[in-house]
Chains A and B, each alone.
Chain A
């Protein structure tokens, strides 16, 4: 399978702990996106990379959130000092860099539950 992969698929943690999620985009896709989806809502944009450069960040991405894409391939999203309100599905997507109209391909997501 050459689609977008995300690990872990599920994560349960206690409030105050740090968590890190990984996203592996489709090979040769330069662009990588993170979204968050809460129950009953559509995905909300968090941040976007082109290669290793983080080009956009949503206001939803508080100081406790940090995303990296050090070599322009896989990306990590870290949440520090987790809160119960961080419980959500975290989605990663990638697209090729062939212009503005390119489709974003989504991974299966990482479901986070903060107790």
Chain B
């Protein structure tokens, strides 16, 4: 079945550091890929998405590129801020008419000033 493997956390970085959170997936065909973020006390929010190979999703300075050859969708940001502290979830949705999202376990990110 479909699965998502995410970089284990927690991750602690200093402000303005470069961020990478690794995500790899297993799925049949060409799934759509997502990064969701959960800020403290809030619900899950879509951060970015990519629906086909080589697509780059971007939002709020975050980027992720859909790499079919390595089945990866790593999240990056060039300069993190304290306000980026949250839990980040990588997810996929199959393109075989199945509507469910399959999530990774989440990576807790803490940015210290």
Chain B interface size band reads 20 to 34
Interchain CB contact under 8 A, B42 and A108 = yes
A106 partner residues in chain B, CB cutoff 8 A? 36, 43-45
Chain A, 17-60, CB within 8 A of any chain B CB:
31, 33, 35, 40-45, 48, 55-56, 58
Number of A-B contacts (CB under 8 A): 57
Interchain CB contact under 8 A, B43 and A100 = no
Chain A interface size band reads 20 to 34
Interchain CB contact under 8 A, A55 and B99 = yes
In the assembled complex, A62 has its CB within 8 A of some CB on chain B: no
Task: Kindly state the separation between the CA atoms of A45 and B45 in the bound complex, as whole angstroms.
Answer: 16
In the assembled complex, A103 has its CB within 8 A of some CB on chain B: yes
B90 to chain A, nearest CB (A): 8
Which residue of chain B is the closest to A103 with respect to CB atoms?
B46
Task: Kindly state the separation between the CA atoms of A109 and B38 in the bound complex, as whole angstroms.
Answer: 12
B43 partner residues in chain A, CB cutoff 8 A? 3-4, 91, 106-109
Interchain CB contact under 8 A, A33 and B99 = yes
B106 to chain A, nearest CB (A): 5
Chain B, 86-113, CB within 8 A of any chain A CB:
89, 91, 93, 95, 97-106
Which residue of chain B is the closest to A40 with respect to CB atoms?
B105
In the assembled complex, B77 has its CB within 8 A of some CB on chain A: no
Interchain CB contact under 8 A, B95 and A100 = yes
A3 partner residues in chain B, CB cutoff 8 A? 43
In the assembled complex, A101 has its CB within 8 A of some CB on chain B: yes
